[in-house]
Amino acid sequence: MAEQPHNKKKPSMKPTPNVGNTRIRWWRSPSQQPPALKRSAEEDVDDSDEGPFVWTRAERERRKAKEKIRKLNSPEGIPKKGSKSARRGVSPVNLGDILAFLAENEPNPANRPPSSTPFSNNPASNKSSPNVSISQASRMTGRKRLRGEVPGLVEDTRSSKKYKPSKSKEYEIAKPKRLTYDSLSEEDMPDEWFRKRFDRLYKRTLEVVEEHFIVPSFEETELRDVKVGPEFIFWAEKVAEADPNSGGWQKLFQNPTQRKYLIAAILVLIFKIKIFDVYLWGSSDPQHQLLHNIDRSFFTHDGFFRTAMRSDAVRNIVGGGPVTVGFYEEVAKLTAQTFALLKPLTNHLHPPREVDITLIEAQFQAIHDLISDTAYLSIRIRMSPTIFFWVNATPGTRYNQDDHVNVDMGSWRDSKQAVRVDYENRQRTHVAQKNAARKEYQERQSEAARERLVQIEKQEPLDPSFDHVAMVKIGVWPSIRRFKPGTEADDQKALRTKVPLGGMRGSREHEICKASIVCYYGKSTETNSGREGLDAFIKRKWGAKGLLKLNVRHELQEVIATAAAAMVGGALYTLSQRKW
């Protein structure tokens, strides 16, 4: 090694973990490299800002592929935040150049040759390049969390420790079949088309729940036996509120009709947040950033202008194909998460040692198809230059006949009857106490007896009609409205010639569907309403920890074993956090 100057400290050597069978060290300058360290057929030196590296062939190929993808997805003129080009102040190109680049460099899966094994492109199964799966899996969690939460599915090739596969696999299900779709037309679809699509999605969601989660024997089951996790509690409290006068949360799970609408409401809320609220389902990171930049660049303009700009960008991204590049990968991810979310309920309804595995496979396939159809509809919405306005039916709000549709009259009648019966019982008790106090006062004529009579008369129960109203118990389906710019005359002109957005006047509103809810007869004020969340109900009835006192490691292994059936692109998907 070359002689170092006396006025400089000896540079420190920072070791790194093993990569395959090669130990890696790096130096601050090329002069510090030992003379015995030379290039070979299996190794290469990469001169980077941190000094020369020694890489295995697999790692070198992975880095080259990653650099190629980065250059492809980062066109010149759109520097990433914090990069050297961004600090130099490179001027961005115009939107037309961006869209042209995306349309040219993002080939659609529909134009690619079909693969006989669509799920075989999994880097985790590539034995010749084990570091690829590690790099993909490490994006989800840190290394320590990866060791603690994902045992059995990842082999850490960078250390001497190897994780043994988990043996707690209750279900070994086949991979779901993909649905195929026709190419999307560039024309905007009419209101009736969207109304039929949403109506079919709503009915199909109820059919899936009825087919796989409605079992008559469940009516006598205690809620504690289900062993739902914190994720299920989180989503259930977002869509439902217990009726304290009609069984509370226990009846929500025991009653088949209410349980059907509860699970359907959870699925619909997942669709809303995870599918419809994203910029574009299945888009790559550069495409997502492009749509985000469009919103930021034109935030001072009206909503119709921003929606039209996003619509043009989405049409260029999708191209002539039916779906986006990462469509099926994202569908598989969300399917695994949703199946794992409902897995405690599935285990109770269909015990693993007693049920036919084909029923579980059918349930997984049904959820997969439902999510796939929803994602396809979301792409069609993003291609439309119109605005779709969603209003969720929040539990605990008042029923509005103009916006809501009650889908369970039986629950409403039972709730109102329970309130009336409770009022009549309290009224009879009050009358009996008042008569006894009046009789005592007439006999004794004492001041204490008179005060007791006055206090009892003040405690007379209030008729429910004064403080009870119809309220939302379960918000099953949101209210959806579509807003279009211009008038009908503008649409007729658009058939002959293109009418600019600035030349249109006013807007139109079309109701796609009303909100579907389950009503109950509840107090209009929060004072002494008796309402409580699912988590509070569990803690009150079964202790401080409630149902959350579970074997966390065992539950995570079950969730991971289930999610492995839908592992795509080397990424692992778990439900260890509330935020997916």
Whether 305 maps to a domain, the answer reads no
Counted domains in the chain:
2
What tokens does 508 get?
A: 């139109």
Average pLDDT, the chain: 71
Pairing status of strand 507-513 against strand 479-485: antiparallel
Whether 346 maps to a domain, the answer reads yes
Whether 535 maps to a domain, the answer reads yes
Confidence of residue 171 (pLDDT cuts 50, 70, 90): low
Mean pLDDT, rounded, for 359-375: 93
Together in a domain, 124 and 4: no
Confidence of residue 347 (pLDDT cuts 50, 70, 90): confident
Asked whether the predicted pLDDT for residue 24 surpasses 80, the reply is: no
Contact yes or no for 421/413 (Cβ under 8 A): no
Together in a domain, 448 and 538: yes
Helix H or strand E segment including 292: helix 285-297
Together in a domain, 270 and 137: yes
Q: Left (φ > 0), alpha (ψ -120 to 50) or beta: where does 379 sit?
A: alpha
Q: Which residue has the higher pLDDT, 275 or 112?
A: 275
Whether 294 maps to a domain, the answer reads no
**Cα(136)–Cα(423) distance, rounded to whole angstroms?**
61
Asked whether the predicted pLDDT for residue 28 surpasses 50, the reply is: no
Q: What is the pLDDT of residue 183?
A: 83
Asked whether the predicted pLDDT for residue 470 surpasses 80, the reply is: yes
Helices 327-341 and 256-271, axial angle in degrees (round to 10):
150
Q: What is the pLDDT of residue 56?
A: 63
Mean pLDDT, rounded, for 383-406: 92
Mean pLDDT, rounded, for 161-184: 64
Together in a domain, 35 and 111: no
Q: Which residue has the higher pLDDT, 466 or 28?
A: 466
Neighbours of 475 (CB within 10 A): 27
Together in a domain, 3 and 139: no
Together in a domain, 4 and 127: no
Confidence of residue 364 (pLDDT cuts 50, 70, 90): very high
pLDDT tens-digit map of 34-86? 444 444 444 444 444 444 445 566 667 767 766 766 665 554 544 444 544 44
Asked whether the predicted pLDDT for residue 576 surpasses 70, the reply is: no
Q: What is the pLDDT of residue 176?
A: 87
**Cα(146)–Cα(108) distance, rounded to whole angstroms?**
33
What tokens does 13 get?
A: 């050597």
pTM over 0.75: no
Together in a domain, 409 and 540: yes
Together in a domain, 44 and 134: no
Whether 131 maps to a domain, the answer reads yes
Asked whether the predicted pLDDT for residue 280 surpasses 70, the reply is: yes
φ, ψ for residue 555 (rounded to 5)?
A: -65, -40
Together in a domain, 34 and 132: no
Whether 76 maps to a domain, the answer reads no
Together in a domain, 111 and 47: no
Together in a domain, 235 and 382: yes
Q: What is the pLDDT of residue 113?
A: 38
Whether 293 maps to a domain, the answer reads no
**Cα(548)–Cα(538) distance, rounded to whole angstroms?**
9
Whether 85 maps to a domain, the answer reads no
Confidence of residue 103 (pLDDT cuts 50, 70, 90): very low
Pick the last residue of a domain from 23, 43, 60.
60
Helix H or strand E segment including 435: helix 409-444
Together in a domain, 24 and 110: no
pLDDT tens-digit map of 299-332? 888 888 889 899 999 999 988 788 998 999 999 9
3-state secondary structure 530-559: CCCCHHHHHHHHHCCCHHHCCCHHHHHHHH
Q: Domain containing 46: what range?
A: 1-60
